[in-house]
Amino acid sequence: MPIFFDDTIVNQRPTHTLKEEESKHVVKVLRLQQGDPIQVINGEGYLFNCEITQASAKACELRILETIFQEPSQHYIHLALAPTKNIDRIEWLIEKAVEIGVQEISFILTKNSERKQIKLERLEKIMVSAMKQSKQLHATKLNEIVPFEAFIQEHPNGFIAHCLPTEKNTLTTEFSSKKPIIIGPEGDFNEHEIQQALQLGYTPITLGESRLRTETAALYAVIEANLTLRK
């Protein structure tokens, strides 16, 4: 059954009018008609089983037949990273991280950052698409880019992955829910940034012996964290 996203649909209402973008997809792309069943998610844990009562490309009318609520996960993964110069690689990461089940993604500006600005609107659309694909009922929180120092001060006691030859731990032995995992740019964090993080309680971690690209390291960390929380 096709799944659509609309953050304006709410519980305890018998009917709903889909937003125009999703209505157009219902009618123009999938060519669904009156009486066809669809599902709608709102990013707040709700899944609505609906029936189309009026197939309009501008405002598709629905009858809500059933409402299902999913409690938020007890596990919370917060990924923070310096965005790559090639935005396609970040878009790929967002898609995969959301499908796996990351609750929050932040972007940080470091000394060696290749990209200093990021537009969330495009990434939010990719996030929604990944939610629908994987049937994630809770939206991933995407945060604006902030300076590295500001981020670690607001979120102390996390985990920092870097390439300097120092003693490190692994996420599979150290990770705990809600503590952020920060991944640096292609040029890595500099020594001063690493020391700043350590002074604020960050644990240095290794992601294996290979030198990974930023988005590969980020996804690897997400998978390790996810597996650790589910042991």
E strand segments, the chain? 3-5, 15-17, 37-41, 46-54, 61-69, 78-81, 104-109, 141-147, 159-161, 181-183, 203-205
Q: Is 157's pLDDT higher than 90?
A: yes
105, with CB counted inside 10 A (0-12, 13-18, 19+), is buried
Residues 188-227: pLDDT tens digits?
A: 999 999 999 999 999 999 998 888 999 999 999 999 998 8
Q: Give yes or no for a contact between 43 and 72, defined as CB atoms under 8 angstroms apart.
A: no
Q: Averaged over 105-130, what is the pLDDT?
A: 95
119/180 same-domain check: yes
**Which residue reads 């690897």 in tokens?**
220
122/161 same-domain check: yes
Residues 167-181: pLDDT tens digits?
A: 888 888 878 888 999
Domain termination residue (choose one: 51, 69, 87):
69
Q: Averaged over 86-92, what is the pLDDT?
A: 96
pLDDT score at 172? 83
Q: Residue 168: give the domain boundaries.
A: 78-229
Q: Is 231's pLDDT higher than 80?
A: no
pLDDT score at 147? 98
Q: Is 165's pLDDT higher than 90?
A: no
pLDDT score at 174? 78
* CA 38 – CA 50 distance, rounded (Å): 5
Cα atoms in the Cβ-side hemisphere of radius 13 Å centred on 217? 27
183/213 same-domain check: yes
146/169 same-domain check: yes
Q: For residue 126, what is the domain's CATH number?
A: 3.40.1280.10
Q: Is 9's pLDDT higher than 90?
A: yes
* CA 79 – CA 179 distance, rounded (Å): 9
Domain termination residue (choose one: 44, 69, 94):
69
129/172 same-domain check: yes
141/47 same-domain check: no
Confidence band (pLDDT; 50, 70, 90) for 11? confident
Q: Averaged over 131-144, what is the pLDDT?
A: 96
pLDDT score at 49? 97
pLDDT score at 82? 96
Q: Is 126's pLDDT higher than 90?
A: yes
Question: Which residue type, as a one-letter code, is found at position 196?
Answer: Q
Residues 32-76: pLDDT tens digits?
A: 999 999 999 999 999 999 999 999 999 999 999 999 999 998 899
Q: What whole-number percentage of the chain has pLDDT above 90?
A: 84
Q: How far apart are the first and last CA of the chain?
A: 32
Summary mean pLDDT of the chain: 94
Q: For residue 11, what is the domain's CATH number?
A: 2.40.240.20
83/185 same-domain check: yes
24/84 same-domain check: no
103/214 same-domain check: yes
Domain termination residue (choose one: 69, 88, 103):
69
Confidence band (pLDDT; 50, 70, 90) for 149? very high
195/142 same-domain check: yes
pLDDT score at 10? 87
169/99 same-domain check: yes
138 has which bridge partners?
A: 44
40/83 same-domain check: no
pLDDT score at 53? 97
Domain count, the chain: 2
